[in-house]
Chains A and B, each alone.
Chain A
Amino acid sequence: MNRRIPLRKRFRVHTLLLIALCGWLLMLHLTLLLNHGLNAPLNGVGDIYLSRNAETASANAVTTVVVSYRGFDTLGEVTVLFLAATGVGMLFAGGLGATPAFRDRNSQPNEVMVTGTRLLFPTLLLLGIYIVLHGHLSPGGGFQGGVIVATAFFLRMIADSNFNLDHAQLGWVESFAGSSFVLFGMLGLVFVTTASFLGNFLPHPIAAMGQLVSAGVIPLIYLFVGIKVGAEVGAIFQDMLESNSASSAEEH
């Protein structure tokens, strides 16, 4: 089909030339910058965090940075995710579907989908919970595990048209997790031993590093982040599916 159109019409030549120019300039710039940056002796914030990381007794230094050293940043990040989920819910629940595109969403999902989901759902759920709980020991954590749990429920929603997540319940779970995060941060502020927001007020002996129950408050906070992210992403999926089924219901 494309064979009749000449090559120069399939691409936008001016745009392509502009991109090539931009790429060349950025490459030059980065070469200059990196020659200065990478040859210098590495003694940045990251090395100081790494050398002090043992004080938190968390085996995963990335988790320490995300939850402990930059915990306030993570609180803001979770808030942005919450706002986006609210925005998606508002856009789809507003009843704007004036001229919905016709699509047969009420057709039954096929057998492969249903059986595969039946097989995958418990496995994905277990994997997600494992990743959330081992955030301070292995790669992963609340964000990744929460998204995996939400994906498990999303598969379930596609495979079974009667399966729905209740928005009110999701809202409660989300508010519980969010307020627990803030509460734990406040508790760190209240206790005299830490006296800082998100301070690690639970006992965290260095000897226990690498065990499941270690690092004090870090795994608990990451668990709350996981619950919150799972509920929010689940709500986004539910909104998108609901809008489709609503518009096709109007159509029929």
Chain B
Amino acid sequence: MLNFLDTPAVLHSIYLIGSLILFFIGLYGLLAKRHLLKIFVSIEIMELAVYLILIAIATTSGETAPILSDGLTAFTGMSDPIPQALTLTAIVIGVAVTALGTSMAIQYHRLTGKVSVTEMTELKD
């Protein structure tokens, strides 16, 4: 009864709509929240949505992970390995950038006692 879910168009649409909802939840957090750490969390949520889109679009139903195991003998009928490798790269870079940004936010809070972006007026004058 649910076989229609396996057609590539429906499958990709489901993945895409879910990831985009996640992406826009992150974007809302980025625009509406004022706390620095909440902004970093929102950026992380947006990154996660992009990883999900990259991975989900690269595969269709019936394709296996690009790894020879469980009796597979040839590299046929496998999903594209390049988006997966690029996502690995993106995750590592994302972690590094977030660590650096969070440390900057912590140091800013130590120096000024502020956590809100609306109160960041040091460079205004």
Contact = CB atoms under 8 A, between A and B. Distances in A.
Contacts of B120: none
Contact of B85 (A70, A96, A139, A229): A70
B103 interface: yes
A80 B32 contact: no
Contact of B103 (A53, A92, A143): A92
Nearest to B93: A80
Nearest to A47: B80
Chain B contact residues (Cβ within 8 angstroms of A): what range? 35 or more
Nearest to A236: B99
B65 A98 contact: no
A66 B107 contact: no
B107 A74 contact: no
B57 A34 contact: yes
Interface in A41-84: 42, 44-47, 49-51, 53-54, 59-62, 64-66, 70, 73-74, 77, 80-81, 83-84
Interface residues of A, number: 64
Interface in A85-131: 85, 87-88, 91-92, 96-101
B52 interface: no
B78 A50 contact: yes
Contacts of B32: 11-12, 15-16
Given A88-B100, A100-B110, A77 B8 contact: no
B110 A97 contact: yes
Interface string B102-113: 011011011101
Given A50-B66, A65-B85, A84 B109 contact: no
A50 B58 CA distance: 14
Q: Is the interface of B mostly helix, strand, loop or mixed?
A: helix
Contacts of B9: 38
B123 interface: no
Contacts of A245: none
A53 B20 CA distance: 33
Contact of A98 (B12, B58, B68, B111): B111
B81 A87 contact: no
B20 A26 contact: yes
B78 A91 contact: no
A50 B95 CA distance: 29
Given A65-B85, A77-B92, A53 B75 contact: yes
B110 A99 contact: yes
A46 B81 contact: yes
Interface of B: 8-9, 12, 16-17, 20-21, 24, 27-28, 31-32, 57-58, 65-69, 75-76, 78, 80-85, 88-89, 91-93, 95-97, 99-100, 103-104, 106-107, 109-111, 113
Given A18-B31, A84-B100, 8 more contacts: A12-B32, A26-B20, A80-B96, A83-B96, A84-B97, A91-B103, A209-B68, A210-B69
Interface of A: 11-12, 15-16, 18-20, 22-23, 26-27, 30, 34, 38, 42, 44-47, 49-51, 53-54, 59-62, 64-66, 70, 73-74, 77, 80-81, 83-85, 87-88, 91-92, 96-101, 137-139, 141, 143, 209-210, 229, 233, 236, 239-240, 243, 247
